């Protein structure tokens, strides 16, 4: 093998290794989600990446972020889902309708909401900064812990 052929092969190998290394680096979106989820954990959220429930029809993809919030004395079995037109429909009886009425700025980002025993589950696409999450958490804390 000549020296020039060896340099070409070595360059190809180096390019391949560099390309693989670059693919392993997290994207800017992945780094932002890591910060958002870490902040959510500090504020009392339990964050999960789950399969999209069948009742949520407005989300594209097979996985969605589910943020769980402790809501004492909530009535299980309530569900709210947004339609393609942006209108919310609520199933079940309880205080979920009152909560959603007070969370208007955030409803644009949510795909669905449901309640289980002592827990509010919000399904959304995580389009927020940690600062915006802090505002949302404060509003939600005020609604679920203080008034409902």
> How many Å apart are CA 81 and CA 112, to the nearest integer?
4
Give residue 82's pLDDT band: very low, low, confident or very high (50, 70, 90).
Answer: confident
Query: Strands, DSSP E only, in the chain?
Result: 46-51, 63-70, 79-82, 88-91, 110-116, 119-124
Instruction: Give the pLDDT confidence of 114-134 residue by residue, as tens digits.
Output: 999 889 999 998 988 899 999
3-state secondary structure of 104: helix
> Which residue, among 112, 67, 117, 69, has the nearest Cα to 90 in the 3D structure?
112
The pTM of the full predicted model, rounded to 2 decimals, is 0.80
Q: How many CB atoms lie within 10 A of CB 82?
A: 20
Instruction: Give the domain ranges of the chain.
Output: 28-147
């Amino acid at each position: 093998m000549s020296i020039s052929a060896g340099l070409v092969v070595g360059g190809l190998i180096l390019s391949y290794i560099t390309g693989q290394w670059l693919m392993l680096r997290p994207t800017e979106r992945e780094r932002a989600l890591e910060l958002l989820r870490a902040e959510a954990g500090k504020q009392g959220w339990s964050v999960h990446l789950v399969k999209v429930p069948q009742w949520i029809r407005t989300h594209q993809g097979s996985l969605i972020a589910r943020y769980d919030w402790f809501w004492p004395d909530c009535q299980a079995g309530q569900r709210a889902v947004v339609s393609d037109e942006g209108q919310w429909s609520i199933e079940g009886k309880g205080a979920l309708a009152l909560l959603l009425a007070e969370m208007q700025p955030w409803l644009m980002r949510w795909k669905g909401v449901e309640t289980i025993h002592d827990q509010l589950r919000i399904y959304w696409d995580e389009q927020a900064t940690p600062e915006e999450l802090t505002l949302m958490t404060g509003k939600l804390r005020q609604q679920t812990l203080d008034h409902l």
